[in-house]
Structure 1
Amino acid sequence: MESKQLKWAYLTVLALVWGSSFILIKKGLIGLTALQVGSLRIIFAAIFLLLIGFKSLSKIPKQKWKYIALTSLFGTFIPAFLFAIAETELDSSVTAILNSLTPLNTLILGATVFSVGFHKKQLLGVFIGLLGSLLLVFNGAMNHPEQNYYYAILVIIASVCYALNVNLIKRFLSDLSPVSITTGNFLVLLLPSLAILYLTDFSSVIHVEKVQHSILFIMILGVVGTGIANILFFKLIQMSSPVFATSVTYLIPVVAFFWGLLDNEILTPVQFFGAFVILIGVYLSAKK
């Protein structure tokens, strides 16, 4: 498969996987707290990655570990907890919509902090995608006034973290394999996540049936939606641009909407129009 076709294939797979992550978080929150969801997600991903990628850790030079630690913090640790906390108040589909701010933040940080060049069409695409996202958000707020939209700030912070993460990977870790980067990330995060889980008194509720069901959802999220997906995402960053890689966040809401429908989250015609606008934005932002 040609490189151009391959990057679009990666983008599609990531959209399907990460678009399903928000409903898995929602199901996990039925029996678990937000801190337990965030920590278990990281722990399951770490165990899986260490099993398949432990040998790849030796390929990480000593001077690169500081960047591995930074990308683990901004790319996984902070967002994992922010998204779980945000979904205690917001619908999974709305959270996915707000996540689509990531390409805009990536472009801004890339240009202002990392001196990454961009084209006018890319900038236009990002703003069109952002417009579609705002259309979805405001329409959702009108239809769900009972939800606390201050929690949306947490998702915006997470999108800034993701934007910083992809620029760091593109600048400092492009010479490492995606498996090495991902496994290194989760090795760094394993002990802090175990400590947080212990402090939540998790052992006292693990025997409860609904808690066990929630753990199953988060296990799927950790292994597939975090471990495997991060490997694909880092590969996508290396073979394309940070803006193209993060444009997956424009497609994620489309997948999340359909999961929301199955879970009785109401969608309006305006929201579907917003999703169409987002797709136009991702097409333009991907053009060179």
Structure 2
Amino acid sequence: MPDVRNRYLYGPMNQRLLNWGIFLLLSLTWGSSFILMKLGLESFSPYQVASIRLISAGLALLPVFFSYIGKTPLKKIPVIILSGLLGNGIPAYLFCIAETRIDSSLAGMLNSFTPVFALIFTVSLFHAPVAKRQLTGLAIGFVGVICLFLAKGIGTNAYWYYGFFVILATACYGLNIALVHHYLKEFASLQLVSISLFFMALFALPILLFSDFFTVFGQAEGAYTSLAASVTLGLMGTGVASILFYQLIRSAGAIFASMVTYGLPVVAIGWGVLAGEDINPLQVICLAVIMGGVYLVNRK
């Protein structure tokens, strides 16, 4: 018969294992999002791919939306919509615009900057205490990002600055992490995601309809492949992944949740290699520098 101490540890241990399971699944799901975007962009514009992504996710969770919307306090709806814009809506378009000019693997690497912005907004908006090593990590992370741009070849790639669209998207992610952790932590993951994605789908629908989508779909070669990639991106990379991410914030905290960034670039680089993208050792070294800064930011 197990002693009291073992019984006490059994629950927390299971929760930790569950948190790490969600962590790994999110890394695989979100890490694969970058190559799915690239596939979608083979036939469609960035605005079309992003809109299909958001509409697909919103439609998939529509039954859940109707079950939760009546139970949600009216005063919290604007905050949930803002969370949807920061966590899904705006980044969906920014990433697609960026990947019209940069590789999916580079987008995955730059996405690793998310925890740094999570720290910046948590400290600046919510006055959380900050340690000297976290400031050091912040500086190292910035240096790593600059070196990553240089490693990609600012002089040889006329569109290197499209990487800043990814940086802006990571700023949105960081702000959303801080927002959810401080204002929406009491809500169930399905509740937050279904409501926020319903409104994101509403916002995305007119963008898709006024973008000549149906004309492009009827004429573009490989349109069905791009559509399948965009819909999969919405269902898995936005719908399922957002539910898992909100759950991770609630159960493990904002900082641990932001550490999913550690796994994303590895998966993104793997897909980039399979897709024949140019990935050199210097880029990997720069990614390691960014990860070192992120580690200092998050280390307890």
Determine if the TM-score, normalized by the shorter chain, exceeds 0.5.
Answer: yes
Instruction: Name the residue aligned to 1:2.
Output: 14
Instruction: Name the residue aligned to 1:162.
Output: 173
Mapping 1:171-190, distance limit 5 Å:
171-190=182-201
Shift in Å at residue 195 of structure 1? Answer: 0.4
Question: Which of these residues, 72, 78, 83, is aligned with residue 71 of structure 1?
Answer: 83
Mapping 1:21-170, distance limit 5 Å:
21-141=33-153, 145-170=156-181
Quick check: which has more Rg, 1 or 2?
Answer: 2
- Please say if 1:251 is aligned against 2:263: yes
| Residue identity opposite 2:75 in structure 1 | Q
Q: Normalized against structure 1, the TM-score is what?
A: 0.91
Deviations along 1:47-67, one digit per CA (max 9) or x if unpaired, are 111145531333321111011
Deviations along 1:192-215, one digit per CA (max 9) or x if unpaired, are 211000110112122344112100
Question: Which of these residues, 182, 187, 195, is aligned with residue 206 of structure 2?
Answer: 195
| Kept in 2: contact 1:95–1:152 (CA 8 A) | yes
Instruction: Name the residue aligned to 2:252.
Output: 240
| Residue identity opposite 2:227 in structure 1 | I
Shift in Å at residue 279 of structure 1? Answer: 4.7
| Kept in 1: contact 2:145–2:286 (CA 8 A) | yes
In structure 2, distance between residues paired with 1:166 and 1:96: 18
In structure 2, distance between residues paired with 1:119 and 1:184: 36
In structure 1, distance between residues paired with 2:232 and 2:94: 19
Give ranges in structure 1 of 5+ residues lacking alignment. Answer: none
In structure 1, distance between residues paired with 2:284 and 2:161: 24
Give ranges in structure 2 of 5+ residues lacking alignment. Answer: 1-12
| Kept in 1: contact 2:26–2:241 (CA 8 A) | yes
What is the SS of the residue equivalent to 1:105?
helix
Deviations along 1:89-119, one digit per CA (max 9) or x if unpaired, are 1111111222222111110111011222344
Are the structure 2 counterparts of residues 278 and 8 from structure 1 closer, same or farther at C-alpha, using a change threshold of 3 Å?
farther
Shift in Å at residue 264 of structure 1? Answer: 0.8
Alpha-carbon RMSD: 2.1
In structure 2, distance between residues paired with 1:86 and 1:16: 21
In structure 2, distance between residues paired with 1:130 and 1:44: 35
Are the structure 2 counterparts of residues 282 and 105 from structure 1 closer, same or farther at C-alpha, using a change threshold of 3 Å?
closer
Higher mean displacement: 28-37 or 100-109: 100-109
| Kept in 1: contact 2:36–2:229 (CA 8 A) | yes
In structure 1, distance between residues paired with 2:134 and 2:24: 19
In structure 2, distance between residues paired with 1:183 and 1:33: 26
- Please say if 1:264 is aligned against 2:258: no
The sequence identity of aligned pairs, in percent, is 39
Instruction: Name the residue aligned to 2:31.
Output: 19
| Kept in 2: contact 1:94–1:137 (CA 8 A) | no
In structure 2, distance between residues paired with 1:206 and 1:194: 16
